[in-house]
Amino acid sequence: MGINLHRAWRAGLLAAGLALAALASSSAAAAEPPVAAPQPAAAATPIKPVTTFNVLMVQFVDQAADAIWDAGATPPKSNCAWEQVENHAIQLATTGTLLRVGGTGPLDAKWAATPRFGLLADRMSDYAMDAAKAARERNAKALKIAGDNLVANCETCHRNFKPDIPTQNITTHLSHANPKAAPRIECQDK
C-alpha cells in the first residue's frame, strides 16, 4: 500500500504541475494580443508614367550617355570627374528601368510592352552599371568598353523603334542636340 500511495502522490503532483503549466500558458496567451492571420497582399498600385520617352531621352539618357562616351574617349583626370561619370552612369541605369514602365508619348506604351524593347532597356541599364563600376575603379579601358556597348545598344534600339532621331524639338542647354549647348562644368578636387 505504501508504494501505491507514493504513486498516487506523484501522479497528483504531476497532474497539479500540468494544470499550473496550462494555467500559466493560458494567462500568458491572454496577456499577449492575438496574432492576426496573414492577409492576402494588396495589389500593387500600377506605376503611372509622367513624361514621354522623348523627354527621358533628352533630359536623362543623352546627358548621361554623352558623359560616359566623352570619358571613354578622354578619361577623367580628377577624382571629382570620375565621380561625375559614375553618377551619370547610375542615372542612365535608372532610366533603363523607367523605360520599362512606359511613357506618355503616342507609341511609348506599345514599345514598353514589346519584349525586344524591354531587353534593350535592360541592357542599357546593365552596360550603364558596367560604366559606373569602371568609373568607381578608375578603369579607363573598362569604361571605354561599357561606352562602346552602350553605343551599339542605343543604335540597335533606335533602328528597331525610332529610326528618326529627332526629339520633337526638345532640347536643353546641356543637350548635344542644341547647337548653343553650354560647355560641361569642370570640377575641382578639394
* Tens of pLDDT, residues 129-139: 999 999 999 99
CATH topology of domain 53-161: Four Helix Bundle (Hemerythrin (Met), subunit A) (1.20.120)
Grid cell digits, residue 41: 497582399
Q: What separation in angstroms does the CA of 15 have from each of 2, 19, 31?
A: 20, 6, 24
In the chain, what are the domain boundaries? 53-161
| Residues 115-161 pLDDT 10s | 999 999 999 999 999 999 999 999 999 999 999 999 999 999 988 98
Q: What is the mean pLDDT of residues 30-57?
A: 78
- Placement of cell 574617349 in the chain: 73
CA distance 156 to 167: 17
